[in-house]
Structure 1
Amino acid sequence: MRMQMTIGVASAPVSWGIMESVPFPREYPYSRVLDEIAKAGYAGTELGPYGFLPTDPAALCNELEQRKLTLCSAFVAIPLADKAAIGPGLEHVERTAKLLSEMDCQLLILSDEITAERCAVAGRCSGTQQYSYGQEEWQMAKEAICEVLHLCARLGLKVAFHHHVATHVETPEEIDHLLSLFSPEELGLCLDTGHCVYGGGDPEAVLQRHIGRLRCLHFKDIDGVRLEEVRRQQIDFYGAVRGGVFAPLGRGVVDFSRLLNLVREHRFEGWVVAEQDVLAGGSKSVITNGEFTDSGGRSTTGGWFRPAESSDRRAV
């Protein structure tokens, strides 16, 4: 008899507008965010920006245990091809990785940092190399990632790369090139469905190409109509986020059910993190339910994302 593979379902502080690039909203202290994540039925949470949740391991462990939550990963963005800024970036990685190690959390999610240049042309770079890294910059990015890999390996952590809109690893072509620089054993993939679509990609196609690297899934949805408006009107990334380009989960163009079928066929074991990028306040689709539905209230995930009892929130 075939055993059912285990997929944990988590959320993240980003869905409450908690980002490194903007001030934390005062109405959402970490205690409220964790309370709402637990109340919605999620089994885990990402760390969020370093310093939002307690950085003392004992205090953080206590906060999570009170709510029966697991720390699943931490997202860290650093300027991969900026020699002047990479030092502080690696220090940021190190302090985050040390906290993860002390929390017995084994996955660091790495991303390139948003730049003003790419923010201005976000979502309009696929199919052109006009705004991409050149050969020298790709080499610097590779060297920076090697430093991250060595640092994390010493602490017993794995690393998954998160492509991100408004960075130099946004498009399907850039994702493929970055991953080609490393073996699947060295560098995994955190596929973000919303950022993939925004960047001109097909999440299912990208996942098919890199399924052997998958270490984490970020489930995020996109409003297709608004995305076309963003591209047509040449709206920058932050303007697009403010305008609601990231849709409530299950109300956009991402086919979550097909993606879940694919990862289960390949016996993926790990975390799916349900998110909606917002700049202020909480995402109602993330806060109120762990089951994604379309506008008619029909499940878009085949019933796999239901909030469960606290004693059995780990598996789907």
Structure 2
Amino acid sequence: MSGPRPPDSAGRAMVGISGWRYKPWRSVFYPKGLAQKNELAYVAERLDSVEINGSFYSLQTPANYQRWAAEVPDDFVFAVKGSRYLTHLLRLRNAATALPNFFASGLLALGPKLGPVLWQLPPNLAFDPESVRSFLAALPRTTASAVEFARGHDERLDGRAWLETDADRPIRHCVEVRHPSFDCDEFVELMREQDAGIVVADSAGHFPQLFEVTSDVVYVRLHGAEELYVSGYPEEALREWAARIDGWRTGATVPDRLPRDVYVYCDNDVKVRAPYDAMRLRELLSRAD
């Protein structure tokens, strides 16, 4: 990933889904008889990116990240979901050991296919400027600094830590908030100060929807047009999202007029809407090029 482009150059729109291993998708989105081990490759033939959800629930291994990277094309990108141990249990505090453990667990093994890191906060976590600022300030912002940061892992990662990078690249961090107290100017300014992105979350009215651009990437999560995680997006809604995304990637709707890379993930997976909505949105965006 790169920083903001000059005004005469548009950013990329990377469209994907949140996770890819869903039993109800088999014989519906995935063809009948497709081996589970081939599902990621099937997604990668049709979309640009995917969120790795497993990293939210537990520390993954370098072997997992290496395998996933090997199953997708060179231009495919993974967003990595930050550990819920950090966001939901520690609630962004006392992370001096847990953060290095997360970065030592193998995500750097994705190499150039590593995209943004998503930090999803719980609905019962209210905005506390001190804890949010301290957490964001501690995050490594390049792969080289992440390697050094990860060396602070504890004994649980001994013998299984990944402590190398093939090149020094930026690491972008984006935060999805779910408590209404984050819908305030102070949070927006804090995110700009820390050069972190606010996730634009469409959640059928359940969580705050913030459109402010606070970093050099824009991260969008589409959780469902009318019912959280369930309902699909009608054609008109997808066209509206395509227009917003095009405004961000061209810089037309950003105050500084600089283009952004935009990462968009459909998370309305319950009734197998996510992959189809993502493919249609990708098609609409490709027509705008």
TM-score, with normalisation over the residues of structure 1?
A: 0.58
Contact 1:159 1:188 in 2 (8 A): yes
Contact 1:220 1:276 in 2 (8 A): yes
* Matching of residue 268 in structure 1 with residue 251 in structure 2: no
Deviation at 1:142, TM superposition (A): 1.7
Residues 114-166 of structure 1 show CA distances to partners (whole Å, capped at 9, x for unaligned) of 26xx2xxxxxxxxxxxx734xxx43123212211146867134333322233x
SS in 2 for 1:37: helix
Match of residue 129 from structure 2: 138
Query: What is the correspondence of 1:294-313 to structure 2 with a 5 Å cutoff?
Result: 303-305=284-286
**1:93 alignment partner AA:** F
Structure 1: stretches of 5+ with no match in the other structure: 18-23, 119-130, 227-239, 293-300, 307-314
Residues 172-210 of structure 1 show CA distances to partners (whole Å, capped at 9, x for unaligned) of 22xx433422545x4221533414953243x5xx23xx2
Distance 1:14 1:177 in 2: 32
**2:177 alignment partner AA:** H
Q: Find 1:74's aligned residue among 52, 70, 80.
A: 80
**2:217 alignment partner AA:** R
**1:103 alignment partner AA:** G
Distance 1:53 1:31 in 2: 17
Distance 1:195 1:88 in 2: 32
Residues 19-67 of structure 1 show CA distances to partners (whole Å, capped at 9, x for unaligned) of xxxxx9896986344134134x2123333323798733543332124xx
Q: Find 2:183's aligned residue among 172, 185, 192.
A: 172
**2:10 alignment partner AA:** M
Contact 1:215 1:270 in 2 (8 A): yes
**Are the structure 2 counterparts of residues 289 and 277 from structure 1 closer, same or farther at C-alpha, using a change threshold of 3 Å?**
closer
**Are the structure 2 counterparts of residues 249 and 7 from structure 1 closer, same or farther at C-alpha, using a change threshold of 3 Å?**
farther
Match of residue 255 from structure 1: 240
Distance 1:145 1:59 in 2: 29
Deviation at 1:215, TM superposition (A): 1.0
Structure 2: stretches of 5+ with no match in the other structure: 1-6, 147-168
Distance 2:120 2:137 in 1: 14
* Identity percentage of aligned residues: 7
**Are the structure 2 counterparts of residues 144 and 198 from structure 1 closer, same or farther at C-alpha, using a change threshold of 3 Å?**
same
Q: Find 1:61's aligned residue among 64, 69, 75.
A: 69
Match of residue 216 from structure 1: 218
**1:268 alignment partner AA:** P
Contact 1:48 1:74 in 2 (8 A): yes
**2:14 alignment partner AA:** V
**Are the structure 2 counterparts of residues 250 and 113 from structure 1 closer, same or farther at C-alpha, using a change threshold of 3 Å?**
same
**Are the structure 2 counterparts of residues 151 and 288 from structure 1 closer, same or farther at C-alpha, using a change threshold of 3 Å?**
closer
Match of residue 14 from structure 2: 9
Distance 1:286 1:100 in 2: 26
Distance 2:12 2:107 in 1: 23
Distance 1:253 1:64 in 2: 26
Query: What is the correspondence of 1:1-316 to structure 2 with a 5 Å cutoff?
Result: 5-14=10-19, 31-39=37-45, 41-50=46-55, 55-56=62-63, 58-65=66-73, 70-77=76-83, 78-79=86-87, 82=91, 86-87=95-96, 89-95=98-104, 99-100=107-108, 103-105=111-113, 107-114=115-122, 118=124, 132-133=126-127, 137-149=128-140, 154-155=145-146, 156-165=169-178, 168=179, 171-173=182-184, 176-183=185-192, 186-195=194-203, 197-201=205-209, 206-207=211-212, 210=213, 213-220=215-222, 222-224=224-226, 226=227, 240-241=228-229, 244=230, 247-248=232-233, 250=235, 255-263=240-248, 264=250, 265=252, 266-278=257-269, 283-287=272-276, 290-292=279-281, 303-305=284-286, 316=289
**Are the structure 2 counterparts of residues 154 and 101 from structure 1 closer, same or farther at C-alpha, using a change threshold of 3 Å?**
farther
Deviation at 1:262, TM superposition (A): 2.0
Name the count of aligned residue pairs: 242
Contact 2:17 2:274 in 1 (8 A): no
Task: Calculate the aligned-residue CA RMSD, in Å.
Answer: 4.3
Contact 2:87 2:120 in 1 (8 A): yes
**2:126 alignment partner AA:** S
Distance 1:145 1:32 in 2: 36
